[in-house]
Amino acid sequence: MFVRTESFKEFIRFYPIVSALVIIHFVLWLLISVLHFGFAVQLYQQGLGVNLLISQGEYWRLITPVFLHAGFAHALFNSFSLVLFGPALEQMLGKTKFILLYLFAGFAGNLGTYIASPESYTAHLGASGAIFGLFGVYIFMVFFRKHLIDQANAQIITVIFILGAVMTFLQANINVLGHIFGFLGGLAAAPIVLRNVQGFSLSQIRSRSSSPGGFSFNPNRHSRRNRSLKTAGRYLFWGLIIFLVAIYVFSNFL
């Protein structure tokens, strides 16, 4: 479920919320860091998570940091994570539940950061708290909604979550509380957003059908070709994960 086989156009059509979030990440980065548009720079300054300013009534800063990033690498890594782990949940929950979950987890991460140090003037930003909220939903399924996720995908998501949690404490300049409270926000929201999700599991999600609003669940069709693609996809997926983990680890020593 984490291997993407859609074309670019299909991805945008099938997962409009994930696509829109990724576009926002890079458009804002382009306007702020590359083109230095005045209104975009001002938006950046007004949107950063600054606890002292939140305590003075600028409560929008509990949400706006979710859409801002410190540079291209920051935006790329979070967008890559969102493209990997967002589509299955957007397909399962639907657009409305998914965006509400994402924003709530991001809000929870920023709120936890604020509560821990309301007088701090240190800025924090990024979508990682919201993305850890998605992990919160997945981990809830692994332990409490086992029928919604097969064993193989449960193992993958558990390993990746553990790696992400470890790197949270090892990597410099990480908002540790944002990750922790974002995860807890997703974990708390999981029973609500999954309440009526009983008709299919993540292991059944293969691709969207061409009919409006439909799903196509036919794992036996072209089984030999599907097995080959699945095997190649696993190697590609784990190769990318190892590559990204290596970059993150070695960046500590540069």
Catalytic residue ranges: 128, 179
- Smallest Cα–Cα separation from 3: which of 248, 232, 189, 242? 232
Instruction: HSE, CB side, 13 Å, CA atoms: give it for residue 133.
Output: 30
Phi first, then psi, for residue 49 (nearest 5°) are -80, 105
- Euclidean distance between the first and final Cα of the chain, in Å? 34
User: Look-up: residue for tokens 């939903």?
Assistant: 137
Q: Which residues have C-beta within 8 Å of that of residue 160, sequence separation ≥ 6? A: 135, 241
Judge contact between 84 and 169, C-beta under 8 A. no
